[in-house]
Amino acid sequence: MTESVSPTVAVIIATYNKSSVLCYAIDSVLWQTFGDFELWVIGDGCTDDSEVVVGAYDDPRVHWFNLPENTGYQSEPHNEGLRRARGKYIAYLNHDDIWLPNHLQVLVDCIEENEADFAYSIMEWILYWADPYPDIPQYPHAARPPEATVTLHRRDIVDEIGYWKPPTETYAVPRAEYFRRAQFIGKRFAFAPALTALKFGGSKDGYAGLNQQPEFMAKIRDDPDFVHKELAGMLARAYHELETPITLKRLRYQVLQSIRRKLVKQGIDPARMRFWTQPGKHIRDWRKTHGLDPL
């Protein structure tokens, strides 16, 4: 496979010392039915064998760059990828997530047919301690933005809103801040109603040795009804939840989500409404929970 001079899509994978699962993310990019892309795997100061993993791919579309030191979050690796990207569109993929083979085709079709600035699809969370569940934020007034793994946007968005901010400068996760920044100046988000990505959730101690990516990639490859079965399972669980008595915790969550949606409709970022919170609190709390050194 030869790489186009100016590919339609630039795919960015930010990674840090996760070579054990990085190969599955890359494999899920290379099995895309839409092949006009370049892939930039950007290491956040990786010290493991991630460079060897990336270098083993005999494909001119696959590129590696390692930042000189660890910055502690996806923001700077994403920004480095954006600086190097030549594609008309940008697609992000977390280093431990995987795309279904039609992911890029679905999003490219969606963004072009809707003449949008951003396109996003349905993502399924795969949690080893719970049933899978869907991630479908309904823009333009969703309580939270879509995950980066299912988002594609025009490359020239960067010329208008700039780059991702470091986590110490944002009230929410940098992804949410970046997408909200675009939304609040009127950029259009289009929803593609298709399941195209799987997100794997870990715990405080990582994945506890349970790398589920190869299992699910085999299912996607071998079972032509994989997507239908997953969507049917999620629909059944959602219906069951609606039929169960509402709890105080669930009611509180629904009320908060409703308030967040109303704030977003008024052009107010819900994360900024916690007047007592300082920028960077989210990432400090997250790193503390995961036993990591503060930034």
Q: List, for residues 130-164, the tens digit of each pLDDT value.
A: 777 777 776 667 777 899 999 999 999 999 999 99
Q: List, for residues 16-34, the tens digit of each pLDDT value.
A: 999 999 999 999 999 999 9
DSSP string covering 18-59: -HHHHHHHHHHHHT-S---EEEEEEESS--SSHHHHHHT---
Cα–Cα nearest to 39, from 65, 77, 11: 11
Domains contained in the chain, CATH given: 9-289 (3.90.550.10)
Q: 10 Å Cβ neighbour count for 248?
A: 7
Cα–Cα nearest to 23, from 91, 96, 126: 96
CA distance 36 to 24: 20
Can you read off the two tokens belonging to residue 241?
């939840």
Look-up: residue for tokens 């799987």?
198
Can you read off the two tokens belonging to residue 264?
């977003």
Average pLDDT of span 69-95: 96
DSSP reduced 3-state for 161:
helix
CA distance 136 to 194: 10
* Percentage, residues of the chain above pLDDT 90: 63
Confidence of residue 249 (pLDDT cuts 50, 70, 90): confident
Can you read off the two tokens belonging to residue 146?
């879509």
Across the chain, mean pLDDT equals 88
| pTM summary value | 0.90
Confidence of residue 259 (pLDDT cuts 50, 70, 90): confident
Q: How many helices (H) and strands (E) does the chain have?
A: 10, 9
CA distance 104 to 110: 10
